[in-house]
Amino acid sequence: MELSITSAAIATLISALTSASITLWLNKSNAKRHIDDQLDAILKIAVQYPYLESESFTSTWLQGKNSDEEKYLRYDVYCTLLFNYLTRVATFYKYDKEKIENYVAIKDWVRLHKDYWFSPTSSYENIDSYDDKFRKLIEHYLK
């Protein structure tokens, strides 16, 4: 049995492969733009409320986390936003630590907000909300 491939079939195959490659590139580009936009949004919040990134404030989390004080309520939501963002970054870079660290200062961020990570307002929040790979990544930075 002889297999005959026509030039039309080859052109169709090349067109399909090119289209698929472009679609994959666009999807990756859009995903990268999305995490860039999220980073900008987090940084804008930190500029508006600089205490959220101040060690003199973050170190008081354990004493203030159960209060109704606006600063602590805001910090709780900010940290949730931050760790949700970091899980998206980790997923985007397929948990490649070098790529993640080249993109964002994850070590500094995780270490600054370690008290929140270890002691969120809901006892099992970080265990239930994040997958095992992400929890291990965070714990790696907190060793």
Give residue limits of the domains in the chain: 31-141
Q: pLDDT by residue (tens digit) across 1-11?
A: 555 667 777 76
Structure confidence at residue 137 as a pLDDT band (50, 70, 90):
very high
pLDDT of residue 127: 83
Say which residue the tokens 């159960």 belong to.
66
User: What confidence tens digit (pLDDT) does each residue in 104-127 have?
Assistant: 999 999 999 999 999 999 888 888
Two tokens at 102?
Answer: 């080249």
14-29 burial code (b ≥16 CB/10 A, e <16): eeeeeeeeeeeeeeee
- State the residue for tokens 């929890």: 135
pLDDT at position 47 is 97
Token pair, residue 126, equals 């970080």
pLDDT of residue 138: 97
Which tens digits make up the pLDDT trace of 36-87?
999 999 999 999 999 999 999 999 999 999 999 999 999 999 999 999 999 9
